[in-house]
């Protein structure tokens, strides 16, 4: 991944070199604490079985599993660990868990960074413009999971329709998809043989049903901003608290991440401060206010009818962006 996708000179070479330094310690601290949270939620889920508390424990388990994609995302950038093979190994393991193969994720995500907000080139924008119904289906996770599973099966059949997947990567992505499906079939067969519901109870059902919480971060990052090539205009950061920033692997500093995707997650707050010192406050909203505003706007007209060269989803209070507080 290139050092910078910003169209502005925001950092000196020396500043970027310092911020680009990777750390196995920081990587293991973040990944280890996240996995520990999943294990704790899983243990509480066991204790809650047979009571109504199972709804709360299942919710917590599903949310912590879903946000593990933030780790996969960083592993795809090779920024979690200084030791390169650790990024690859953990990235593949988490990709299997998330039904999101690593090789495909890397190619798709590189296209997203290289052509952010450009229809049909951005790996996350190869979709029809949202109307209210399609947005709510995506936000709930219904179409998200449908696209995830059908896409995986299609690529396993050797059918590549994504414009950002070139011939150089196609063969590896097809093989990867087949290996994933083989693994899922093996888990299903073992579950039937041992008459176990564990894979459903502690993985698939919680993850699928709580996707909407993770979508609150996913949807806020670019929707409703301009399609200008300037990262500071087409990317939005999130106003949230320290716990959620930890759970998101610091991705609420999303403008900073898109400006310099080679900078490790644990350096993004420092990078964000430097960017705002150089260029002023970045676009920023809270999760709830963003969802209120996007639903209100899409109830009026669909995404294609809003101007592509203007910001049409703004903070609810006064439209002014605010700096994240500690």
pLDDT digits (tens, 9 = 90+) for 265-305: 999 999 999 999 999 999 999 999 999 999 999 999 999 99
Is 64 part of any domain?
yes
Q: What is the pLDDT of residue 7?
A: 59
Is 50 part of any domain?
yes
Q: Percentage of the chain with pLDDT > 70?
A: 94
**What is the rounded average pLDDT of the residues 65-84?**
97
Residue 10 pLDDT class (50, 70, 90 cuts):
confident
Is 271 part of any domain?
no
Q: What is the pLDDT of residue 9?
A: 82
Q: What is the pLDDT of residue 5?
A: 65
**What is the rounded average pLDDT of the residues 200-229?**
97
**What is the rounded average pLDDT of the residues 6-17?**
84
Query: Cα dist. 301→68, 131, 138, 305 in Å?
Result: 34, 7, 17, 6
Mean pLDDT, the chain, whole residue set? 94
- Residue 87: name the closest of 269, 268, 264, 267 by CA: 264
**Two tokens, residue 56:** 């709360």
* Residues with Cβ within 8 Å of residue 109, at least 6 apart in sequence: 73, 76, 77, 123
Q: How many domains does the chain have?
A: 1
- Residue 309: name the closest of 229, 220, 227 by CA: 227
Residue 62 pLDDT class (50, 70, 90 cuts):
very high
| CB contact at 8 A, 116 and 258 | yes
Residue 24 pLDDT class (50, 70, 90 cuts):
very high
**Higher-scoring residue by pLDDT: 7, 43:** 43
Q: What is the pLDDT of residue 325?
A: 38
| CB contact at 8 A, 117 and 226 | yes
- Residue 247: name the closest of 93, 65, 86 by CA: 65
Q: Percentage of the chain with pLDDT > 90?
A: 90
**Two tokens, residue 276:** 């705002």
Q: What is the pLDDT of residue 316?
A: 74
**What is the rounded average pLDDT of the residues 213-229?**
96
Is 276 part of any domain?
no
Is 321 part of any domain?
no
Q: What is the pTM of this model?
A: 0.93
Query: Cα dist. 323→238, 252, 273, 317 in Å?
Result: 10, 12, 9, 15
* Residues with Cβ within 8 Å of residue 153, at least 6 apart in sequence: 177, 181
Q: What is the pLDDT of residue 320?
A: 45
Is 37 part of any domain?
yes
Q: What is the pLDDT of residue 236?
A: 97
- Residue 114 sits at φ, ψ, to 5 deg, of -70, -35
Range of the domain at 61: 26-98
Sign of torsion over alpha carbons 306, 308, 313, 314: negative
How many residues comprise the chain?
A: 326
Residues linked to residue 237 through DSSP beta bridges, in sequence order: 284
Is 63 part of any domain?
yes
Q: What is the pLDDT of residue 75?
A: 97
Looking at the predicted structure, is the pLDDT value of residue 36 above 70?
A: yes
Is 157 part of any domain?
no
Query: Cα dist. 288→113, 124, 216 in Å?
Result: 26, 22, 8
């Amino acid at each position: 991944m290139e050092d910078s996708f910003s169209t502005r000179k925001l950092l000196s070479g020396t500043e970027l070199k310092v911020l680009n330094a990777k750390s196995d310690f920081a990587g293991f601290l973040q990944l280890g604490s996240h996995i520990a949270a999943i294990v704790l939620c899983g243990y509480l889920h066991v204790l809650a079985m047979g009571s109504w508390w199972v709804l709360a424990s299942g919710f917590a388990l599903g949310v912590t599993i879903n946000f593990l994609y933030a780790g996969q995302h960083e592993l795809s950038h090779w920024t979690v660990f200084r030791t390169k093979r650790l990024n690859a190994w953990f990235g593949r393991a988490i990709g299997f868990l998330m039904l999101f193969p690593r090789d495909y994720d890397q190619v798709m995500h590189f296209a997203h960074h290289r052509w952010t907000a450009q229809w049909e080139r951005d790996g996350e924008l190869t979709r029809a413009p949202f109307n209210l119904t399609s947005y709510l289906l995506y936000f709930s996770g219904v179409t998200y999971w449908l696209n995830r599973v059908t896409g995986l099966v299609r690529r396993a059949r050797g059918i590549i329709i994504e414009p950002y997947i070139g011939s150089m990567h196609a063969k590896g992505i097809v093989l990867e998809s087949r290996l994933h499906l083989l693994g899922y079939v093996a888990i299903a067969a073992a579950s039937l043989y041992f008459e176990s519901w564990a894979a459903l109870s502690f993985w698939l059902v919680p993850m699928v049903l709580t996707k909407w919480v993770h979508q609150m971060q996913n949807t806020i990052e670019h929707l409703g901003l301009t399609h200008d090539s300037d990262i500071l205009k087409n990317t939005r950061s999130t106003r949230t608290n320290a716990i959620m920033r930890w759970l998101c692997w610091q991705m609420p500093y999303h403008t900073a991440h898109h400006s310099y995707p080679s900078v490790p997650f644990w350096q993004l707050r420092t990078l964000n401060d430097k960017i705002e010192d150089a260029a002023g406050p970045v676009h920023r909203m809270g999760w709830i206010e963003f969802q209120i505003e996007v639903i209100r706007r899409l109830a009026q007209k669909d995404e294609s009818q809003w101007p592509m060269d203007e910001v049409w989803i703004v903070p609810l209070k006064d439209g002014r962006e605010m700096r994240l507080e500690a």
